[in-house]
Amino acid sequence: MAALWDYPDFDEHEGVHFFTDPVTGLQAIIAIHSTHLGPAAGGTRFWHYADKADAVTDALRLSRGMSFKNAMAGLPMGGGKAVVLADGARTKTPEMLAAFGRAIDSLGGKYVTAEDVGMSDADMVAIARATRHVSGLPVGEGHAGGDPGPSTARGVYLGVLAAIKRALGKDSAAGVHVAIQGVGSVGGGLARLLAADGAKLTLADVNGVKAAALAHELGAATAHANEILAIEADVVSPCALGAILDAGAIAALRAPVVAGGANNQLAVPADAARLHGRGVLYAPDYVINAGGIINVALEYLGQGDRAEVARRITLIPERLEQVWAESAATGDPAADVADRMAMRLIGRG
């Protein structure tokens, strides 16, 4: 295994912590990329990795992404991420979650966790028995916090409207054709918001039954999950997996706008220039999909209610406008401009 410092994704992490608890079987990594703006906030992923080196890479890559996301969302939070290594059967016990909570607590508030893939709000409740540095807990009506999906969908929706305005000169989504890849929590929420505006929708999901049911409800069309990115539409909105914008997919794009909620949409950094070269208006993923972290960060900070979450989400299109304006002025790809802005905000520019 390469030394930690030699990992391509290390990128001057402030700290990378490894925890083991033989009694409960816990094996966890907590990566803290930056605390420049505040405690490092980012969810915990519970995942089975065939190779433990992949778990380290995942923690580092996701942690850096959270630094950028939180900074661009204007939150007083740094960036971090945790990975709990699952066995093949993905066994997770309350004792293991408690041990993980103690691990988080030992960092004294430098890292604040929330849900990510494989972790539920019930798991956050179990972790909260051992530490207060946790968010994404169930909350009462009107409070910030809880399921981040609807907040993420709302931010993506506002970002799509901003992109439509900039690329197509239209003030609303009425009659605009949006192709959505993945109709889960984020993509499904986005579809409903756009349908209410009278957008023309094409939906795709590997779960074809789910896509068909939502399409029926909203009067939308469906496409095959493998073809959705290449259909002729005004906007393509990736809301499923990451790394879907590779050289082939970018060459096949027929929409002038890519704006969606999926994390890490670019397969490799060079794809930023490929999109730009094709004249596509791209909404950098961690800028447009920050609604969920805004929701859970305000919960943790105890700063405001749902109305404040909604107000802060309206700042997402403004941030996208800044990125696009600088991209237009400099000729640099939007994704690179966003990275540069984020680096400046975390004091590394």
| Residue 299, token pair as written in the block | 């919960």
Query: Which residue, 38 or 146, has its beta carbon nearer to ligand NAD?
Result: 146
CB of 287 to ligand NAD, least distance (A): 11
Only one of the segments 91-99, 127-135, 175-183, 247-255 lies at the binding site for ligand NAD (rule: CB under 6 A); that segment is 175-183
Contacting ligand NAD within 104-143 (CB under 6 A): none
In the complex, least distance from residue 298 CB atom to ligand NAD, rounded to whole angstroms: 14
For residues 306 and 144, is the Cβ–Cβ distance under 8 A? yes
Bridge-based pairing state of the strands 26-34 and 15-21? antiparallel
Q: Which of 152, 222, 237, 327 binds ligand NAD (CB under 6 A)?
A: 152
Answer yes or no whether residue 262 interacts with ligand NAD by CB under 6 A.
yes
Shortest distance, CB of residue 171 to ligand NAD, whole angstroms? 27
Part of the chain binding ligand NAD (CB under 6 A), chosen from 25-33, 167-175, 260-268, 300-308: 260-268
Using the rule CB under 6 A, is 263 a contact of ligand NAD? yes
Residue 148 binds ligand NAD (CB under 6 A): yes
Assigned token pair, 262: 């999926």
Q: Is 316 in the site for ligand NAD (CB under 6 A)?
A: no
Per rule CB under 6 A, is residue 149 in the interface with ligand NAD?
yes
Neighbours of 143 (CB within 10 A): 16
CB 265, CB 238: distance < 8 Å: yes
Active-site residue, 200 included:
no
CA distance 278 to 262: 21
d(CA 317, CA 287): 9
Q: Which residues in 180-199 contact ligand NAD (CB under 6 A)? A: 181-187
Q: Establish how many alpha carbons lie within 13 A of residue 317's alpha carbon, considering only the half-sphere containing its beta carbon.
A: 16
- Residues binding ligand NAD: what is the number (CB under 6 A)? 25
Q: Is the Cβ of residue 241 or residue 247 nearer to ligand NAD in the bound state?
A: 241
Cβ burial of 147 (10 Å; 0-12, 13-18, 19+) is: middle
Q: In whole angstroms, how close is the CB of 236 to ligand NAD at the nearest point?
A: 12
Phi-psi region of 323 (alpha: psi -120 to 50; beta: other; left: phi over 0): alpha
177 vs 210, beta carbon nearer ligand NAD: 210
Q: Does 206 bind ligand NAD (CB under 6 A)?
A: yes
Taking CB under 6 A as the binding criterion, the range among 89-97, 98-106, 201-209, 338-346 that sits at the site for ligand NAD is 201-209
Residues in 224-243 that interact with ligand NAD by CB under 6 A: 225, 239-242
**176 is a site residue for ligand NAD (CB under 6 A):** no
Binding to ligand NAD (CB under 6 A): which residues in 240-259? 240-242
* CB-CB contact of 45 with 116 (8 Å): yes
CB of 229 to ligand NAD, least distance (A): 9
Using the rule CB under 6 A, give the single segment among 73-81, 145-153, 229-237, 336-344 that binds ligand NAD. Answer: 145-153
For ligand NAD, which residue has the nearest CB? 184
Q: Smallest distance from the beta carbon of 6 to ligand NAD, in angstroms?
A: 27
Structure tokens at 192: 């409903």
* Residues designated catalytic: 81
Chain positions contacting ligand NAD, by CB under 6 A: 148-149, 152, 181-187, 204-207, 210, 225, 239-242, 261-263, 289, 292
